[in-house]
Chain A
Amino acid sequence: MRPFAYDRAETTALAARHPTAQGQTDAKVQFLAGGTTLLDLMKLDVLRPERVVDITPLKARHSGIEVGPDGLRLGGLAAMAAVADHPAVKRDYPAIAEALQLAASPQLRNMATLGGNVLQRTRCPYYRDPSWAACNKRTPGSGCAAIGGFNRQHAVLGVSERCIAQYPGDFAVALAALDAEVELVGPGGARRISILDLHTGSDRPHIEHSLRPGEVIVGFRVPAAPWARRSTYLKIRDRQSYEFAIASAAVALDLDGGVVRHARIGLGGMAYKPWRAKAAEAALVGKPLTEDTATAAARLALEGAVGHGHNDYKVELGRRTVVRALLAASATEV
């Protein structure tokens, strides 16, 4: 690990005192929250900040969990474990609680924060190993070792010829399905953005997210909605626990009898960034939720998917994941 200066920021204003863009692999300043992405990638010499600003003192103000009539508000520095175990989150926003509970391990969930979680980096093995020269995410213009390389875990949605990395997180997928917003505070003041606008696209893979220099994620808002209770997160992986998704779906349904009034579908494990399948949602509205309608929706959800050889299986696996998640959500007692 390279040398760095270590600071502790007691306030968001002080966190923003070094307003260097943080979203790039070569960013000179990084916030340290749980450290489970940052220190890992610093040891691997992928991230090389010259200054590490420890923002854990912000937990005192920004780790609340509030369930109210308008929706759910989660502090940006809340621990994954605290939210996963919260009774009201489990009851009213099960997809959120499940996505967190199925992620990583109990130790990591105690350490990791929600803000750090949504900003975790891809697990692409070529990105994580700088001895591979070709990686547009690490070194713009260098190429992509995964295209033509070993790409079994890589994405099929939202990819480009520049980068086919998979967004590995679970929580952001549930947030995407439930129309969540991210609350930011930075040198320019406070603002809110849709979770779908937080992560940037594969056309510029060396830029990870749209945070402005010095901005801190202080919270997440999930609006109250009739579909939130009938929501679930289905995670498919190579082993039953302590593993990243190869495909996942967060779905939420508002049913009138057996007929779909509203549907929300987020996809993970197979997309470049947290993904929302709006065409599939629209196709379900006004129809009974059956295996046939779910299958038709799943086909739309994976439309435009591009495989690169080893990951071709994800197109069909992705469809089946969507079907299973939809059927599971429709069968839930609410």
Chain B
Amino acid sequence: MDRTQPEGPSRRHVIGAAAGIAAVPAVGSAAETGRAAQSDASGKVDMTLTVNGQARRAMLDVRTSLLDALREHLDLTGSKKGCDQGQCGACTVHVDGERVLSCLILAVSVQGRRITTIEGLAEAGGRLHPMQQAFIDQDGFQCGYCTPGQILSAIACVNEGHAGSDDEIREYMSGNLCRCAAYPKIVAAIKQARPQMAVSPGTPAKVGQV
């Protein structure tokens, strides 16, 4: 296969400083070593993340998840941490228009990619994205903890073309758990927003599309 031929010499050595961490033998509990690295300036990485159209710069430990970067360092607490293990969907954001779980992404690895969070959906004047409005109109939540993730996931579900029927919506929204079991209302909200998203291409209704 010619795909397997050498592909050229370039190599970006992203984290010069963090390589120093590797020289420290990984011993002791995660908590001990974790704290040591946090307080050690050489363990941090100068990162730039493009979030909701803005370049945001921060010095972060190389281990920082995208979710923790957003919540703990960039003051964007809309994305929620439910499980931190990829099991609940509360941390769903868009990267380059695709829905992903920010708890299982290293912040350092998505520099230069387009990140969209719940805070980036409304228009500048405050007008909500049709999906946000639909969740309000249809009462698509109770406690609201899962809601930012549900809304980001729901927008992608429509943009992917996976919101054709109630069953399809349920299947393609199954990655977002809701402890309050607002599921029927979430399906209703997606059905309300679906036609509104389709009629206005290029407007903020399309946020999240590639």
Contact = CB atoms under 8 A, between A and B. Distances in A.
Which of B19, B22, B157 has the largest count of A CB atoms less than 10 A from its CB? B22
A310 interface: no
A107 B99 contact: yes
B62 A6 contact: yes
B62 A36 contact: no
A141 B162 CA distance: 48
Contacts of B24: 3
A107 B162 CA distance: 13
Which of A3, A36, A51, A108 has the largest count of B CB atoms less than 10 A from its CB? A3
Interface in A28-86: 32, 34-36, 39-40, 43-45, 48, 50-52, 54, 56, 61-62, 85
A107 B3 contact: no
A12 B98 contact: no
B100 A5 contact: no
A5 B22 contact: yes
Interface stretch (B5-13, B125-133, B135-143, B187-195): B5-13
Contact of A5 (B9, B18, B172): B18
B171 interface: yes
Interface stretch (B51-59, B71-79, B82-90, B199-207): B82-90
B120 interface: no
Query: What class of interface size applies to chain B in its complex with A?
Result: 35 or more
Nearest to A13: B6
Which of B26, B36, B170 has the largest count of A CB atoms less than 10 A from its CB? B26
Which of B18, B19, B101 has the largest count of A CB atoms less than 10 A from its CB? B101
B68 to A, nearest CB: 11
A142 interface: no
A11 B105 contact: no
A241 B19 CA distance: 41
Interface string A196-227: 00000000000000000000001100000000
Interface residues of A, number: 47
B22 A108 contact: no
Contact of B85 (A5, A40, A185): A40
Nearest to A42: B63
Contacts of A36: 86, 101, 104
B37 to A, nearest CB: 5
Contacts of A44: 85
Which of A2, A108, A183, A218 has the largest count of B CB atoms less than 10 A from its CB? A2
Contact of B105 (A4, A6, A35): A35
A330 B84 CA distance: 42
25 contacts: A3-B26, A3-B36, A5-B22, A7-B15, A7-B19, A10-B11, A12-B7, A13-B6, A35-B109, A50-B22, A54-B109, A62-B3, A106-B153, A106-B160, A106-B162, A107-B99, A107-B101, A108-B101, A110-B98, A110-B99, A218-B4, A240-B174, A241-B170, A241-B174, A242-B174
Given A6-B18, A39-B104, 4 more contacts: A10-B10, A36-B104, A106-B156, A240-B174
B30 interface: yes
A4 B63 contact: yes
Nearest to B38: A3
B65 interface: yes
Contact of A190 (B4, B8, B12, B100): B4
Interface string A172-195: 000000000001010000100000
A134 interface: no
B12 A10 contact: yes
A3 B85 CA distance: 19
Contacts of A104: 175
Contacts of A34: 104
Contacts of A56: 109
B192 to A, nearest CB: 20
Nearest to B43: A3
Given A7-B15, A48-B26, A50-B26, A106 B175 contact: yes
A130 B92 CA distance: 28
A1 B100 contact: no
Interface in B91-106: 92, 98-101, 104-106
Contacts of A10: 7-8, 10-12
A211 B14 CA distance: 26
A106 B172 contact: yes
Contacts of B101: 36, 107-108, 111
